[in-house]
Copies of this chain bind each other. A is one copy, B any other.
Amino acid sequence: MTATAKKRSVKSGLPPGSLIHVGEDKKSTVKIRILSFNGEYVHEDDRTEVGECLPPEHGKVITWLGVGGVHRARVLEDIGGLFHLHPLLLEDVMNTEQRPKFEDYGDYIFIVLKYLALNGSKPGKAISTEQVSLVLGPDYVITFEEGTGDIFGQVRERIKNDKGRIRKMDADYLLYTFIDTVVDNYFTVMEGLGERVEAVEDALVAGVKEATLRSIHDLKREMIFLRRSIWPLREVVGSLERGETRLVSDRISVYLRDLYDHVVQVMDSVEAYRDMLSGMLDIYLSRVSNKLNEVMKVLTIIATIFIPLTFIAGVYGMNFAYMPELKYPWGYPAVLLLMGAVTSFMLFYFKRKKWF
């Protein structure tokens, strides 16, 4: 949450349904792309206002209204008016701090998703999020993206080029395609994170650095963040699959089940990486403590050998008038021998204690 992002608290005290944008200002213009198609026909129309946008009827036609940018209340109100959307739905579209969710409004269903992207190597901010809201009506799908990055560009190409079965299917299949695009992207993000986890693991094997610890913690936080995004997504896809709404036909339930499996698989990877990171943290910590032990052992060995020797030298450095040993010719070699004996004993003792 940067300082420039509008906070949720600006809405405190306002009546429900007030259209106020909450979140970062991703861009300043709104881009609207309208694509109408059926088996034989495709029509595309780009604009910045909604106006009288619905295309003429050519038999049955599926309309996809793609909105890029959700910060203009007036544009949303126009769309809301045209499709008779509930004010609370529009409020949710503008508030980009939503969790993934599924809501059935009877005539249309509303889905909020989080599109993830992997950033560069900025530490602690590996994943950026863009909120994607979807509305499915009987023969239309509206997609609201926070930015104008055109997340669903590939879907548009597939429709225009009539690839796959997308032109032969209904609006619910189009909705499925959008969710599938978002979920497929999660695999890409997971693989990117996986590479980072492995890089950190290699760094851990190479040596104990505090930067490694920081990276482990950062990645762990990303995993917690991911899990928080994916858990509710599972419920969303599960609700669709269980056929809780009449807008989604049985025909696509096999696709939704497949999608559900994908979500569970992503979740599984997240859990696997979390476990790996926990293990790496344990290894890091026990290595730090091993290192401390090693340092202490060196200190102890050196000190324990030399402190008694220094004492012996100190004794014969005393200036007493009557110290008979000092006079004997063999005094000096005898003391050196004594020192050697003490050292040998110490080394033997440390050896037996397996200190080195």
Contacts and interface: CB of A to CB of B under 8 A. Distances in A.
Contacts of A302: 303-304, 307-308
A288 interface: yes
A17 B258 CA distance: 10
A261 B320 CA distance: 85
Contacts of A308: 302, 306
Contact of A254 (B9, B88, B327): B88
A16 B316 contact: no
B268 A228 contact: yes
Say how many copies of this protein the assembly contains: 5
Contact of A306 (B86, B207, B307, B316): B307
Nearest to A349: B298
A220, A306, A335, most chain B CB atoms within 10 A = A306
A310 B314 contact: yes
A236 interface: no
The number of chain A residues touching the other chain, given as a range, is 35 or more
Contact of A295 (B9, B99, B187, B293): B293
A94 B309 CA distance: 70
Contacts of A194: 1
A16 B293 contact: no
Interface in A289-320: 289-300, 302-304, 306-311, 313-320
Interface stretch (A52-60, A126-134, A137-145, A279-287): A279-287
Nearest to A258: B88
A271 interface: yes
Nearest to A176: B16
B297 A296 contact: no
B318 A319 contact: yes
Interface of A: 1, 7-9, 11-13, 15-17, 86, 88, 91-92, 97-99, 101, 103, 105, 154, 158, 163-166, 177, 180-181, 184-185, 187-188, 191, 194, 207, 210, 213-214, 217, 220-221, 224-225, 228, 254-255, 257-258, 261, 264-265, 268, 271-272, 275-276, 279, 281-300, 302-304, 306-311, 313-323, 325-329, 331-332, 335, 353-355
8 contacts: A15-B158, A88-B254, A92-B261, A214-B283, A228-B272, A295-B296, A295-B355, A320-B331
